[in-house]
Amino acid sequence: MLSEICIPLGMSQKDVVILDELIKERIRIPKGSSLFRLGDPTTSLYGLRSGTMKTQIQDAAGQVQITGFLLPGEVIGMDGLLENIHVSNAIALEDSEVCVIPLEDLDSLSQHLPILQFQFRRLMSKEITRSHQMVMSLGTLRSEQRLAAFLINISQRLSLLGYSSTEFILRMSREEIGNYLGLTLETISRLFSRFARDGLLHIQQREVNLIDMPALRALAGTDCG
């Protein structure tokens, strides 16, 4: 349940103790509140310890586009490293907690912990891969493929945390899922009803039970890892 940054995999106990000196601050973010907003200075990165968050961007006309949903063990704020300005809003979908990694401390600590640099290179690679998958999803997949791929992706990420891969609660609304996938609320609702009718899943409010994973993977027709 701990962030990959809070307790990185592969670190010796000695290195973990050193790293623990870095992460002295933890922040609780109530549901609906922002961890940071577009334009805020980037002074730290954040490892999500518990809860669920979303990142979203907004244009001058007020149009909002959700760019990601974050689960425990994932890092928030890396998109603000280029200019040291956050380029998105990070909002809690439920009561959440993050550990704070100050950038100035991270730079100095990385000189003594080379494995920490490896951790961040790996995390950056994961972010790029996720962006590539999103572009492919919006550009080439049919609406039903997008939703199937989304559900499989959430399933796999929750499984890595030790949760059930088939029964879980969607902390995001159907409207938020539609925004993320480039689909309307009506389309998302219709697809959930269709998936339930076809025996792929059972859904009650936000509680989901994935009944036929092979069929969902075949429908997605893509790597959703």
Beta bridge partners of 66: 56
> Is 201 domain-assigned?
yes
> Is 34 domain-assigned?
yes
Query: Beta-carbon neighbour count of residue 88 at 10 Å?
Result: 22
Note the pLDDT of residue 160. Answer: 79
> Is 133 domain-assigned?
no
Residue 1's nearest CA partner among 71, 97, 72 is: 72
Q: Are residues 43 and 95 in the same domain?
A: yes
- pLDDT band for 3, please (50, 70, 90 cuts): very low
Q: Are residues 153 and 107 in the same domain?
A: no
- pLDDT band for 22, please (50, 70, 90 cuts): low
CATH of the domain at 32: 2.60.120.10
The residue with greater pLDDT, 62 or 180, is: 180
Q: Model's pTM, two decimal places?
A: 0.82
Q: Are residues 38 and 82 in the same domain?
A: yes
Structural domain containing residue 176 = 141-220
State which of 116, 151, 181 marks the end of a domain: 116
Q: Are residues 31 and 95 in the same domain?
A: yes
Q: Encode the chain in three state secondary structure.
A: CCCCCCCCCCCCHHHHHHHHHHCCEEEEECCCCEEECCCCECCEEEEEEECCEEEEEECCCCCEEEEEEECCCCEECHHHCCCCECCCEEEECCCEEEEEEEHHHHHHHHCCCHHHHHHHHHHHHHHHHHHHHHHHHHHHCCHHHHHHHHHHHHHHHHHHCCCCCCEEECCCCHHHHHHHHCCCHHHHHHHHHHHHHCCCEEEECCEEEECCHHHHHHHHCCCCC
Structure confidence by residue, pLDDT tens digits, 50-103? 899 999 998 888 899 998 999 887 888 888 888 899 999 999 999 999 988 888
> Is 135 domain-assigned?
no
CATH of the domain at 211: 1.10.10.10
Q: Count the domains in the chain.
A: 2
> Is 38 domain-assigned?
yes
